[in-house]
Structure 1
């Protein structure tokens, strides 16, 4: 379900996307807002599940992007720079990796509906340099993004 955000919320979230560790006081100063306003809005966003737990990163589901998928792409290697630049212009592309193996690029994308996912997949396929794509829908998140296990498994020696 999409959460309603206004222009002020959007400005706060965009600033935090650039620097997720920005202190509330600096964020308020940079945006020309009262510190109390920024603090109250961040608290509302956290309790309203707009933000990921213990994070300043927004949850795509809170913006109505309830469909998530991975898209594998095969490239014309001569046009990799053009392909990546075109992919950056698609807002639904959240991440892009260059993996080892048969795929040239692996993307994590979001959409509002399965039909919207088709549209996003087509935008990706039509980017310069992309020869072929394959899309896999994520049915359910079973282990959310985490690094705590990595931190606990490090030895001090």
Structure 2
């Protein structure tokens, strides 16, 4: 979906001021409430806006250790292993990938011992051949999408 300058301004407000009302967003942007709501509805319908819940910190929830765990899976078992991963609460994301492994997961843990326990749980899943782990030391660029959105609005051919 092409985003224009108004869409970008709307998305910026939704990201930076997520608890503000639609009426207040419309006032800040200088547009009619109906126009704003129609834009938000369209971006939700087209999958640009996928949620509006709070961003949670695993570290603040007592899980400060973050690891990326690559999982190699026996052929034909990718869906089964993916389903099993969804049952492990410490797995906060999992992706099918190309390259050195079949799945890449983000795993959070209370400490290194807990991380080892989670990895041992992964190794025991039917269809898992091996795992390879990398522990994150420090977040350098937090998850962000606004710079991408802003770059799309500036590209030639973006609608106005």
**Common topology (TM > 0.5):** yes
For 1:34-70, what per-residue CA distance to the aligned partner results, in whole angstroms no more than 9, with x for missing partners? Answer: xxxxxxxxxxxxxxxxxxxx96121101110000000
Question: For 2:77, what is the secondary structure of its paired residue?
Answer: helix
Q: Distance in 1 between matches of 2:53 and 2:142?
A: 13
Q: Who is 1:117 aligned against?
A: 115
Q: Distance in 2 between matches of 1:23 and 1:153?
A: 25
Q: Who is 1:43 aligned against?
A: none
Q: Distance in 2 between matches of 1:102 and 1:71?
A: 11
Question: For 2:108, what is the secondary structure of its paired residue?
Answer: strand
Question: For 1:63, what is the secondary structure of its paired residue?
Answer: coil
Q: Does 1:128 align with 2:126?
A: yes
- Quote how far apart the aligned CAs of 1:137 are: 0.3
Indicate conservation of the 8 Å contact 1:86/1:128, yes or no: no
Q: Does 1:98 align with 2:96?
A: yes
Q: Could you state the TM-score of these two structures normalised by the residue count of structure 1? A: 0.63
Question: For 2:56, what is the secondary structure of its paired residue?
Answer: coil
- Quote how far apart the aligned CAs of 1:113 are: 0.3
Q: Distance in 2 between matches of 1:76 and 1:23?
A: 48
Q: Distance in 2 between matches of 1:86 and 1:135?
A: 18
Matches within 5 A, 1:15-34: none
**Unpaired stretches in structure 2, ≥5 consecutive residues:** 1-17, 22-51
Indicate conservation of the 8 Å contact 1:83/1:128, yes or no: yes
Q: Distance in 2 between matches of 1:129 and 1:22?
A: 44
**Unpaired stretches in structure 1, ≥5 consecutive residues:** 1-20, 25-53
Structure with more relative contact order (C-alpha pairs < 8 Å, separation 6 or more):
2
Larger Rg: 2
For 1:68-115, what per-residue CA distance to the aligned partner results, in whole angstroms no more than 9, with x for missing partners? Answer: 000001000221122111111100000001112121000001000000
For 1:94-147, what per-residue CA distance to the aligned partner results, in whole angstroms no more than 9, with x for missing partners? Answer: 000111212100000100000000001111111111100001000111110001
Q: Does 1:138 align with 2:136?
A: yes
